[in-house]
Amino acid sequence: MSDEVNPIKDYLFDYIEKSNSIINLIVEKKFDIIINEIVENCYDKIILMDKKEEAVGILATGILHYLLTNALLNSQRKVDYQGMELDIVIPDTRTLEKDAKMALLILIPKSSDKKTIDEKISQLRKVQPTKENIWVVLSEDVPLNCKSFVLSKENNSFSKIIFEIAQFLNVGGSNKFKILRI
């Protein structure tokens, strides 16, 4: 997916722009409540716009991009790195190259097929040997050998992802990232 016109991203950002509460929640660092509000109000509409996995992937990418920017957490999105596309890299590919233990890769597969996801994780392990630093965002719960978050209306573990990212960065000792005090 490129940064061209996308009805799901347009719908998401239009919702965020018109929301009276999201700006205040950002100031209060209530990212889980923001995610829950967006999922509650946008999920049903966006899954009608594309295949469920595609739609959820685009929604997850849009939410993460927006919230990481507003949480002042460094990240790179849709990066070509050593011949593969990385969905989200935190903080950046330079850190991944210098010290992989200090970098987090977030995979947002446009599939819920376990074999397809496992293959993508295997590819990512070539550039991120620290298994715990590969996280996956899914449209439904799929048992994987890595940390995963589900973005759905019922079982929405995705709402905790920003706090977990901030915790990862704080524990990693990157003082410049201690913006979210957890």
CATH of 7-177, one of 3.40.91.80, 2.30.110.10, 3.40.50.300, 3.40.50.720: 3.40.91.80
Q: 3-class SS at 178?
A: coil
Confidence of residue 7 (pLDDT cuts 50, 70, 90): very high
- Whether the pLDDT of residue 176 is over 60: the answer is no
* pTM, rounded to two decimals: 0.89
Average pLDDT, the chain: 90
Give the tens place of pLDDT for each residue, 28-78.
Answer: 999 999 999 999 999 999 999 999 999 999 999 999 999 999 888 899 999
Quickly count: other Cβ atoms within 10 Å of residue 157's Cβ: 16
- Distance (Å, rounded) from C-alpha 86 to C-alpha 48? 26
CA-atom Rg of the chain in angstroms: 16
How large a percentage of the chain has pLDDT more than 70? 92
- Distance (Å, rounded) from C-alpha 3 to C-alpha 1? 7
pLDDT of residue 9: 95
Give backbone dihedrals phi and psi of 89, rounded to 5 degrees, phi first. Answer: -120, 130
How large a percentage of the chain has pLDDT more than 90? 81
